């Protein structure tokens, strides 16, 4: 039995990890898993480049491909998979291929307003792999501010609690929204 893969994207500080963890824990499936993209980057022991730095493109594509392959393995095993990370439209090709193979793949971009994103990022504990410098957070937010053909995949979570965002996402997933084609 194949379950669905749900990509939860957005800039640092938008709540991707907390929301993905909660959605996986509340999944109606018997089995669910949460992949934290930062974990995949932390596996790199030599030659690591911060994902937002120039020269990180090849590394980032490899990480996305590895995550996608892992997600397929779990989905084909019957797990509902929640993947959180800064996955912009430019990183969707592997996920589109998965969707074309018949697996239900959804793509959600959390996009609270810029001020809320910066505030949430500043309130988070500092992490070595994502230092959440305000300039980096604003740059990431700007990168996700215009999604082109995927604009209807954006969800404004400004002013929402984690539970409110989870309820909204669950309702829209149940309605068939966010499907990646």
* 124 pLDDT above the threshold of 90: no
pLDDT on residue 129: 47
Q: What is the pLDDT, as a whole number, of residue 126?
A: 56
The enclosing domain of 20 has a CATH number of 3.40.50.300
CB 59 within 8 A of CB 49: yes
Q: Is 181 part of any domain?
A: no
Residue 82 phi/psi, 5° resolution? -110, 120
Q: In the chain, pLDDT over 70 holds for what percent of residues?
A: 95
Instruction: Give the angle subtended at the CA of 133 by the CAs of 19 and 16, to the nearest 5°.
Output: 10
Report if residue 159 sits inside a domain: yes
Position 135 confidence tier, pLDDT thresholds 50, 70, 90: confident
Predicted confidence at residue 50, as pLDDT, reads 87
Mean pLDDT in residue range 16-42 = 95
Name the least confident of 40-44, 72-76, 119-123: 119-123
Task: Tell me the C-alpha distance between 144 and 88, whole Å.
Answer: 7
Q: Is residue 79 part of a domain?
A: yes
Residue 84 bridge partners (DSSP): 8, 36
pLDDT of 146 strictly over 50? yes
Domain count, the chain: 1
Query: Residue 180: inside a domain, yes or no?
Result: no
Asked if residue 30 is part of any domain, the answer here is yes
pLDDT digits (tens, 9 = 90+) for 37-67: 999 999 999 999 988 889 999 999 999 999 9
Three-state DSSP class for 9?
strand
Q: 179 in a domain, yes or no?
A: no
To the nearest whole number, what is the mean pLDDT of the chain? 91
Has residue 139 got a pLDDT over 60? yes
- In which domain, by residue range, is 102 found? 5-174
Q: Which residue would you say has higher pLDDT here, 125 or 89? A: 89
Q: Is residue 25 included in any domain, yes or no?
A: yes
């Amino acid at each position: 039995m194949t379950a669905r893969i749900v990509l939860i994207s957005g800039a640092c500080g938008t709540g991707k990890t907390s929301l993905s963890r909660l959605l996986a824990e509340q999944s109606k499936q018997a089995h669910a898993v949460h992949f934290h993209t930062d974990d995949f980057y932390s596996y790199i022991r030599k030659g690591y480049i911060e994902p937002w730095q120039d020269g990180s493109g090849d590394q980032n594509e490899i990480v996305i491909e590895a995550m996608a392959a892992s997600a397929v393995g779990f989905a084909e095993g019957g797990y509902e998979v929640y993947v959180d990370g800064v996955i912009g439209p430019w990183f969707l090709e592997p996920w589109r291929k998965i969707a074309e193979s018949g697996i239900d793949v959804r793509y959600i971009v959390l996009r609270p307003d810029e001020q809320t994103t910066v505030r949430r990022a500043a309130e988070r504990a500092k992490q070595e792999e994502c230092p959440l410098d305000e300039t980096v957070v604003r740059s990431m937010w700007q990168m996700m501010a215009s999604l082109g053909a995927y604009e209807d995949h954006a969800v404004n979570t400004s002013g929402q609690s984690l539970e409110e965002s989870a309820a909204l996402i669950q309702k829209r997933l149940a309605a068939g929204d966010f499907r990646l084609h």
